[in-house]
Amino acid sequence: MGIEDASMRNGRALSGQWADSVVVRPRTTEQHITVNKRLVLGFAISILTLIVVTAIAITLSVSFERCAAESSGGLAANGSSNSKWKQSRDGNISHRDSEDGQQPWRHLRLPSTLRPRHYDLRLSVYMENFTFSGEVNIEFECVRSTKFIVLHTDRLEVEKVLKAGAMRIQRRFHYQPKQVYVIALHREMKPLRTYKINITFHAHIEHELLGFFRSSYVLNGERRFLAVTQFSPTHARKAFPCFDEPIYKATFRVSLKHESSYQSLSNMPVEASTSDEDGWVNNHFSRTPRMSTYYLAWAVCHFTYREAVTDNGVVIRLYARPDAIQSGSGDYALHITKRLLQFYQDYFKVKYSLPKLDLLAVPKHPYAAMENWGLSVFVEQKILLDPDVSSFSYQMELTMVVVHEICHQWFGDLVTPVWWEDVWLKEGFAHYFEYIGADFLFPKWNMEKQRFLTDVLHEVMLLDGLASSHPISQEVFEATDIDRVFDWIAYKKGAALIRMLANVMGQPLFQRGLNAMQREGKDINITQVMDRWTLQMGYPVVTISKNDSLDNSVTISQEHFVYDTDAKIQNPELFNNSFQWQIPLTLAVGNSSHISTETIIWVSNKTGTNYLHGINSHLLGSINTFATFFVKMLGHILVLHILKCLLGNMHKNELLVSDPRTLFFFSRAGYLPQNVPLQMISYLSQETEFLPWHAASRALYQLDKLLDRTEDHSLFSDYVLRQVEPKYHKLGWPAASPDSSFMQVAYQAEELQREVMMLACSFGNKHCHRQAVSLISDWISSNKNRIPPNVRDIVYCTGVSLMDEDVWEFIWMKFHSSTAISEKKVLLEALTCSDNIFLLNRLLNLSLTSDLVPDQDVIDVIIHVGRNPLGRHLAWRYFREKWDILNSRYGEALFMNSKLISGVTEFLNTEAELNELKEFILTSGGESAPAFARAVEIVQTNVKWHILFQQQFYRWLRKAPDG
């Protein structure tokens, strides 16, 4: 599943918690959880093998199917070395099964007595009143004797239930607390026998974005409707009675009946089609492979399509609004999908399993995309691309969403985790492959080596350094906990860990490291390594120092990194001595003239001596003077001593100035003085590469949001401008060149220029302001937009902020008249940059109470108004006043609610605002929501930073050199 991640790719964003995105705001210059280790660790090692050996997907698939057959709880049950959690889980299963004759419907999981084999699902869809009726025939096998059939249903009106065979139904009822429908028989079903049941039902096609829901768009002045499914993680039960857990894979045969003016799609191709005299058509789709219920999908719409065919004969179609198809907006995604199917087939050594793959672009969707097997659904903003108006950043973001979803056709659809606590495996793997796949498509982007650092490692470190973090593998106790496992820890930390192991184990250096460890009498157990990374939250900070008593050795220690060090004192049960990792460090030592060969060392203890084999002793001996360590940023770790060494060598380009944001982590947590990140940033003007600027800008924007309401804010903004302006004047502005090839854009140069321009305009460079105002004025007077697409967001936001109300109305008009999806998004965000409180309030009200703003953009409007310093109180008040409406609309949509909560609260930084937040949580009943717990902690750290460090920070700025 793809989720909204504009945090780093479009250059306008920051952390998913502290700085999820940046509105270019011009300034005038005036706990430890145990889980099933065997599954997690075995599966993680299998991922490694998949990456290195590239032939494991089918093996994993078979092993998962074996799990379904052998494990009553959906987990492997072989061996005797499983964790305490396995024992407790097995106990729970036994307890649960012992109650099969009593009330098995009261448990979180379905009773393990039955296993589905096939669904024959027939639906009639009535678009005129947004209802549907259905009939499902379920064939299932009895695993152990029971007289209860327990199925998931939610918001379905069950009409009839017919049991095939001689057995009679004694009673049937719906048990809403667990969203199940219970059918009690007169006699028990016998093990190893196959049974069938027939259920008829009806329901509404919902307005909310889950289950089988409806959407609409306007074409030639006429509003048209469509209906589409979103079943992940637990919403197939809203569309038909089923065993709605991922372990219960089965085959499906779907039939959709609807008016002939519509067309219908599903996972498989249409096998046969019939029509009747009333103008209705009935499409019968081919039987699917065995798959989980949440990957079943269908749609009823008026769309048209473009088509491509792979060398293996797989038909790829991109379906969208007719005007979008006609304009060619789907051509780019179709082109890269064809290439990606071949890439993944070659990489995994497994052919794509279905005869076709449809990409469906819908006007609204709760996520960026959903990887339904053979029918992947995307929100329009993540798949439709107009080269004439789209920025390179938009192209990059779209590319990575498509790469992510196509990867899931193998790792997720074909190979599926058996329960939700291990969702990080499939999502972390697909998130990692966003960068691998993007590098395959566009090698010059260098995504895996560069952007992974800022977009993934840095982002998840912000979250995982909080006391409210959690292990990436979480036990699910209640159905509401399922939503909780889909967060950035699962996606980004999962990707970081997979990348760490892939880079370490996939190179000869790893074997050399193991040999060195064995010579020292040590051994590395990869299972134990992964145990530490997956079953405990957080990450280590590693300190390296020279060992004066032994040649070629260093002392390395580790501790749990936490932003709020007081949290360790206040929550000793969370931060005990058990936090310890086995850490692979790829290490070298060097100076201005020489860098030694790399070596891998494993840090296993809290502190210890490590020998650096293959590193010249004369370099190591000079470490405290002019040499420093180099560590590849492959893992989910921070290395403190390296940064201390860098402080005396920042003028040397080779000393990794590319990572100033890590310094921000340390200084924010009090490990380093507050001036350290600013000192390093003072050398940026000499930097010619994109990545250091990208990393630095993320740290600067975070600091800016902490300081933008303080009395001395101009000290900070003026300092930043002094560092940025030399590079800004050197790079200049991009020329409007309509003849340039969008696909061949010079990524590094374009993005560096954009990054510097954004900083200049945001922090108040007068030339940048004048240029933006001039371009907006020219657009208004000529009605011809000559603004280069790559910087339109910067120009629009700057113009709206500096110019009068007429400009805001002009942008509002253009937002409604534009048909390019990417352009509409940029225009809408620009409207939130206004200095006019009345206009900001008007925008908030229109977004929530009218159809003028798409549903999925309402949250973005509120968040972006909150990032405007003049709109922060407005957005915070609006969020609280409209919480009931917002929560009812987006509460079940996984990331949407979490994104809204974090986006509105992350920059609150006063004691009064902290108290308002705590009071609101109490009155709204949000005490148990993880997003609110994180919000409180983040605001607490903001408040604490101001108390402890603000004056120190400004004292240094007052004495800072002009450089």
Q: Concatenate the DSSP letters of all residues of 747-784 into one string.
A: HHHHHHHHHHHHHHHHTT-HHHHHHHHHHHHHHHHHS-
Residue 263 is classified by DSSP as E
Exposed/middle/buried for 552, CB within 10 Å: 0-12, 13-18, 19+? middle
- Among the listed residues 208, 405, 421, 906, the single catalytic one is 405
- Contact at 8 Å (CB) between 694 and 12? no
Taken as a whole, the chain contains a residue count of: 963
Give the strand order in the sheet containing 369-370. 304-309, 315-320, 356-362, 375-379, 369-370
Rounded Cα distance, 37 and 45, in Å: 12
Q: Is 32 annotated as a binding residue?
A: no
CA 445 remoteness from chain centre = 20
Nearest C-alpha neighbor of 677 from the set 654, 711, 704: 704
- Three-state SS string across 187-254, please? EEECCCCEEEEEEEEEEECECCCCEEEEEEEEECCEEEEEEEEECCCCCHHHCCCECCCCCCCEEEEE
**Long-range pairs for 443-451 at CB < 8 Å and ≥24 separation?**
444/747, 444/748, 445/396, 445/747, 446/748, 447/400, 448/499, 450/690, 450/691, 451/8, 451/9, 451/691, 451/694
b/e burial code for range 54-85 (CB count within 10 A of at least 16 → b): eebbeebbebbeebbeebbbbbbbeeeebbeb
- Contact at 8 Å (CB) between 485 and 476? yes
Say which amino acid occupies 741: S
Please report, for the chain, how many H helices and E strands are present, in that order: 33, 26
Q: Provide the 10 A C-beta neighbour count for residue 271.
A: 12
Residue 374: left if φ>0, alpha if ψ -120 to 50, beta else—which one?
left
- Contact at 8 Å (CB) between 293 and 116? no
At 482 the three-state DSSP class reads helix
Reported as half-sphere exposure (CB side, CA atoms, 13 A), residue 833 has a value of 29
Rounded Cα distance, 612 and 154, in Å: 60
At 173 the three-state DSSP class reads strand
Strand partners, 123: 134, 256
Tokens of 936: 């409180």
Q: Is 408 annotated as a binding residue?
A: yes
Rounded Cα distance, 678 and 957, in Å: 9
Q: Is 404 annotated as a binding residue?
A: yes
Active site residue 405: yes
Q: Are strands 369-370 and 375-379 parallel, antiparallel or unpaired?
A: antiparallel
Nearest C-alpha neighbor of 86 from the set 144, 143, 39, 32: 39
Rounded Cα distance, 152 and 233, in Å: 13
What are the distances in angstroms from CA 198 to CA 122, 162, 430? Answer: 11, 5, 37
Catalytic residue ranges: 405
Give binding residues for Zn(2+) as ranges: 404, 408, 427
Give binding residues as ranges: 404, 408, 427
